[in-house]
Amino acid sequence: MINSGCRFAVVVVLSLISLALVLLFPYHLEATSLLSMSVEELSQKADIIVQGTVVDAKSELAADRSAIHTTVLISVEDQWKGKPTSSLTLMQPGGSIGEIVEEVPGLPSFKPSEKVILFLKEMPEGKLIVFGGEQGKFVLRFDVASGSEMVEGSTGERDALSDFACHIRKALGHFPSCPTPDGSKIQGKNQESLGKN
């Protein structure tokens, strides 16, 4: 039986290993960037933008048992950017196996059945990562008061799903009429094409 002191030591060591990986590999730096980005910036810079449900999030030890990585399977329900797909798989450092937890600062966590909107970047080797780290993951929650789905970001900001999707389309050049915080509408240049990119 591992005592609490040993478990804490394991968590600290694995966290330090993950931090070293983030510093050594450039694509992790992009994923965990601390630069604040708007939905418009995320939309323009991401390769793929999807809305879906987390089917599975499985953490495993690396082959050399030096670190933990998590594989996340997403069932895609809507897509605004990228090659159309019905599902996709993400892999990122960190995760938990039993009482062993490895956290990587700036990266989002996932749990089965979670409804999400993801801004993704495709790396040269074909792997998909969440663009902008935790900024690139938004969670959908049903709001009983308004009777509609709300989108919640990593800093707690909330927006109606319809408005959030409108801002994504506008950023991608589809120019819909999007609401402003005061409830008025911003008219775009082109109301005809609201199709997916």
- Mean pLDDT of the 162-187 span: 73
Question: Which of the two residues, 121 and 26, has the higher pLDDT score?
Answer: 121
- Mean pLDDT of the 9-33 span: 44
Q: What is the pLDDT of residues 131-173, one digit of tens each?
A: 999 999 999 999 898 888 999 998 888 999 999 999 999 999 8
CATH of domain 4-186: 2.40.50.120
Strand duo 87-93 + 68-81: pairing: antiparallel
Displacement of CA 153 from its chain's centroid (Å): 9
Residue 11 has pLDDT above 70, yes or no: no
Displacement of CA 128 from its chain's centroid (Å): 11
Residue 47 has pLDDT above 60, yes or no: yes
> The pTM is what?
0.74
- Per-residue confidence (pLDDT) for residue 77, from 0 to 100: 96
pLDDT-based confidence at residue 81 (cuts at 50, 70, 90): very high
| CA 21/CA 29 separation, integer angstroms | 9
Residue 195 has pLDDT above 90, yes or no: no
**Residue ranges per domain, the chain?**
4-186
- Mean pLDDT of the 65-82 span: 93
Instruction: Tell me what the pLDDT averaged over the chain comes to.
Output: 79
What is the signed CA dihedral for 48, 166, 151, 106, rounded to 10 degrees? Answer: 40
- Per-residue confidence (pLDDT) for residue 110, from 0 to 100: 93
